[in-house]
Amino acid sequence: MKLGGMSTTARRPSQLGMASIGSSSRKPVCQLGLFKSYSTFNPQSAASPRDKPKNKVSLWTKLKSFTTFTASGTLVIGAAGLSAVVIYLILSELFSPSGDTQIFNRSVSMIEKDEVARSLLQCHDTADSKERLKAYGESFTSDKWTRNRPIVSTTKVDKTGKAHHFMRFHVESKKKRGLVHIEAVDSDNSYQPAFTSVYLDVPGESRHYLIKPKVHKIAKPSGFLGVNWGPKKA
pLDDT in tens, 56-102: 778 888 888 889 989 999 999 999 999 988 887 777 666 676 788 88
- Please state, in angstroms and rounded to a whole number, the distance separating the CA atoms of residues 185 and 198: 12
- Please state, in angstroms and rounded to a whole number, the distance separating the CA atoms of residues 207 and 181: 11
Give this prediction's pTM.
Answer: 0.55
| Residue 142 included in any domain | yes
| Residue 50 included in any domain | no
Residue 199 belongs to what domain range? 96-211
| Residue 149 included in any domain | yes
| Residue 137 included in any domain | yes
| Residue 150 included in any domain | yes
| Residue 193 included in any domain | yes
Residues in the chain with pLDDT values less than 70: 1-55, 92-95, 97, 139-148, 216-234
Domain count, the chain: 1
| Residue 22 included in any domain | no
Residue 205, number of CB atoms within 10 A of its CB:
14
Residue 158 sits in a domain whose CATH number is 3.10.450.320
| Residue 53 included in any domain | no
